[in-house]
Structure formats: structure tokens, C-alpha cells
Amino acid sequence: MGQDVLLSLYRRATRLVFNLVVVALLLGLFVGVGRTFSELGLTLTEPTVRLGLKELITNVLSLVIVLELVRVFVEYFELERVRLEVLLEIGVALALRELLLLLFAEKINGLDLFLWTLGILALVAGRTLAVQFSPRRQG
């Protein structure tokens, strides 16, 4: 009987914490979308088009990452597990964001670019395998 009470308390506490995290992420997402739209004018006012696009791309990719994180938390509530393919999608989005930031800052050489590309391809291949061999598709 005591173990059931503790498990119930644990589940309630976990749901409360995850609900708070989802609310915080959604608020951050809405603020981010609002700021991205409000900063669209910067694309026109920056000294070069490249600088304006850098900010826009950075903001949009950051929003994609937050959106994917919200999806992970919501999926955890629905299925009480996190799918590997979703985590790999977040990894791809993060890697692409960082690679683009390095490219825009011109702080990357040919070998580093090659290694980043291999890493992103490995994540994409892992995601493809995770989708192909997911437990839902088996049997």
C-alpha cells in the first residue's frame, strides 16, 4: 500500500513539473516568434543582407529547437516515453544551427565543415534507422 502511494505521488509530481516546463517552453516559443517577427525589419536595416539573414536564420532555427522540445514533452505525456527519432531530430536541428552560426561567423575551415557535415549525416542516418526499426513498425 505504501509503495502505491509513493508511486502516485511521484507521478503527480512528475506531471506537475512537466506541465510547468511545457508552459515555460510555450511562453518562450511565443515570445521568440513575436520577437522574430518584430525583428524582420532588421533584415532591411542591417548594413549587409548577410547580417540580417544571419539573425533571422539564427532566430528561426532556435524556434525550431524549442518547438521540438515542446513536442518531446507533450509526447512524453501522451506515451510516457520519448522516441529516439524525435531526440535525433532535435540533435540535427541543433547541429545545423551551430554549423550555420559558424559559417556566418566565418570561423570554420574545410576540415571542420567536413566533420560537421559527417556528424549531421550520422544523425540523419540514425534518425532514419530509428524510424525504420521503431517498435511500432515491428510486427
Tens-digit pLDDT profile for residues 73-87: 888 777 777 788 888
Q: Read off the pLDDT band of 50 (50, 70, 90).
A: low
Confidence (pLDDT) at 127: 92
Amino acid (one-letter) located at 13: A
| pLDDT tens per residue across span 22-31 | 888 889 888 8
Q: How far is CA 109 from the centre of its chain?
A: 26
What is d(CA 128, CA 130) in angstroms, rounded to the nearest whole number? Answer: 5
What is d(CA 65, CA 89) in angstroms, rounded to the nearest whole number? Answer: 9
Question: Once rounded to an integer, what is the mean pLDDT over residues 10-30?
Answer: 87
Confidence (pLDDT) at 26: 85
| pLDDT tens per residue across span 52-73 | 777 777 888 888 888 888 888 8
Task: State if pTM tops 0.75.
Answer: no
Contact 46, 55 (CB under 8 A): yes
Contact 52, 42 (CB under 8 A): yes
Question: Once rounded to an integer, what is the mean pLDDT over residues 91-116?
Answer: 88
Where in the chain are the domains? 1-81, 83-139
Confidence (pLDDT) at 38: 79
Confidence (pLDDT) at 97: 86
Confidence (pLDDT) at 34: 86
CA dist list (Å): 4 to 7, 11, 52, 77, 81: 5, 10, 56, 20, 21
Contact 10, 62 (CB under 8 A): no
User: What percent of the chain is helix, strand and coil (3-state, nearest 5)?
Assistant: 85, 0, 15
Residue 46, pLDDT above cutoff 70: no
| Contact partners, residue 69, CB within 8 Å, separation at least 6 | 25, 90
